[in-house]
Each structure stands twice: as structure tokens, then as C-alpha cells.
A and B are shown apart, each in its own frame.
Chain A
Amino acid sequence: MVVDSSAITDTALLRTIAIGLSPVPLAKTPVSRVGAQVTVVSAPPNSDSASMASGLITDAKTVSQNRLNARVLVAQIAAGADSSGAPLFDDYGRVIGVVDELAEASADSNAQGSAVDILYAQQMIEKEVASEISRKPAEGPAPIDDGFSRTNTGVTPSPGQPHQGGPPVK
């Protein structure tokens, strides 16, 4: 289901029932710099495997056009139309952006693609995690049923339970 989305930042957060998928690391701070190498990893529809394209950041700026009003990273990268929504990795393997529709260019080696800053997705994730915590009921540790009742001052056998271990009771 769609947890959160914004047309202004062209970012959406979905919740799925996914088991066994390892998450990608997100960049904590804006680290993009012009000239840095970036990589897009995407999953084309007509292939069983993922694909990748790499290039260089050529600009980092705030874009206000159509409904979009967000900080975007522009890269000289041959990312095709199938890459919309894919992660843009920096050269440390951290996600710094989400590929947006401006990247829907031909597979020309000089194509300019762009991605919105990962900051907006991070804000959605933090909001969702916080609301998830507030939804969970407060739970203490599960009671241990081992025949002993526990008090603040120590452990004593429950009524009807034989005393085991420790010095003999006189």
C-alpha cells in the first residue's frame, strides 16, 4: 500500500510484504558533488535480471517546474525510461537520489538524467517509523514460567514447587 507520497518532490513510500530482501543504504547527508561518479541500478520489465548505468554528476540544483519543486541531481548518464523510481548510488554505494521522469531520455550516452534528493524519501521513512512505534502497544518482557515466582529481592519457589539448587533449606 502507499504509505506516503508527494508530487512536489516526486517521491513515494510503499509498504510491501517482502521477505528476504536486503535494504540499500541511504546517504545520511547531502554528499553529491559535481564530477562525482554515480550509478543507477534498475530492473527492466523484459528481463529477469537488473541492469545498471553509470555517469557523472553535472549539476545539483533546486528545480521548480510543473508540479516539481525539489532539489535534484543532474547526471550525464544513459538511464532509460525504465529507470524511473530507481536508486541513484554515489561512489560509496549509498543512495543519494530517486530517478525521476526527467531521466526518461533515450539510451544516448550523452543523455542527461536527473534524480530527486534522497532527503525527501528519508523524511517519509522517519515519519513512518515514528508512527509505527506509536501504533505499537507498550509491552513488557514476557513472563517466565519456570515454576519460580520472582520478587524484587530474589527468586523464591512457587507454592507447590520443590526447591531446586542452592543450599538445602533447613
Chain B
Amino acid sequence: MKRATFGFLGILICFGLGATADANDSPERIFKKHKDAIVRIYVNGTFRGCGFVVSQDGLVVTAKHVITGAEFPSNIKAAGIEVQQ
């Protein structure tokens, strides 16, 4: 009985440690980690909204209404980086 209790406690501790290792990120940390992946989207020189980089080869996701009316967004700028279209 004692052995079973200790075994159960051991499992609980393992799960507890796992949860700690997968700790939540604070908004500040998320911001710091991912701010460079955010891009500004301009259509015909007018700022329309943001997007974000989802692949290393240049795929960017945004909202459809941000690019509505433009087959080719005229300019996409990341924070500090101008990205060629």
C-alpha cells in the first residue's frame, strides 16, 4: 500500500515538473521574442495593417481586408527592415 502511495506521488511530482518546464510566457517576453517577425503592410503608399512572418522563405500571414483592393501590396515593411515585394 505504501509503495503504491509513493508511486502515485512520484507520478504527480513528474507531472508537476513537466508543467513547470512548460511555463507560460509573459506578454513582455512574447513581445521581445517575436516583435521582429511583425511586418507593416502598405497598399499604394497607405498603411493598411500588419502581418507576421510564418516561414524563413518569406511567407507572411495577414487579414484579407488589409490587402483588399490590391493584387500586389506595394510595400511590406518589418520593424526596421524593408522587405522587397
Contacts and interface: CB of A to CB of B under 8 A. Distances in A.
Interface in A1-26: 1-3, 5-7, 9-18, 20-24, 26
A124 B4 CA distance: 50
Given A11-B61, A20-B81, A83 B37 contact: no
Given A17-B85, A43-B38, A48 B63 contact: no
Nearest to B37: A24
B24 A37 contact: yes
Interface in B24-63: 24-25, 27-31, 33-41, 47-56, 58-63
Interface of A (DSSP majority class): mixed
Chain A, interface size category, equals: 35 or more
A14 B45 CA distance: 17
Chain B, interface size category, equals: 35 or more
B27 A24 contact: no
Most buried by A among B34, B36, B40, B63: B63
Most buried by A among B25, B27, B39, B78: B27
Nearest to B56: A23
B59 A128 contact: yes
A86 interface: yes
A39 B39 CA distance: 16
Interface stretch (A49-57, A134-142, A150-158, A161-169): A49-57
B78 A21 contact: yes
B50 A125 contact: no
A40 to B, nearest CB: 9
Interface in B55-77: 55-56, 58-68, 71-73, 76-77
Nearest to B61: A121
Given A41-B31, A92-B22, A24 B54 contact: yes
A21 B50 contact: no
A22 B39 CA distance: 12
B42 to A, nearest CB: 8
Nearest to B40: A43
Given A10-B65, A15-B60, A16-B59, 17 more contacts: A17-B83, A20-B81, A21-B56, A22-B37, A41-B38, A42-B38, A42-B50, A45-B47, A84-B62, A85-B51, A86-B51, A87-B34, A92-B25, A93-B34, A98-B62, A121-B54, A128-B59
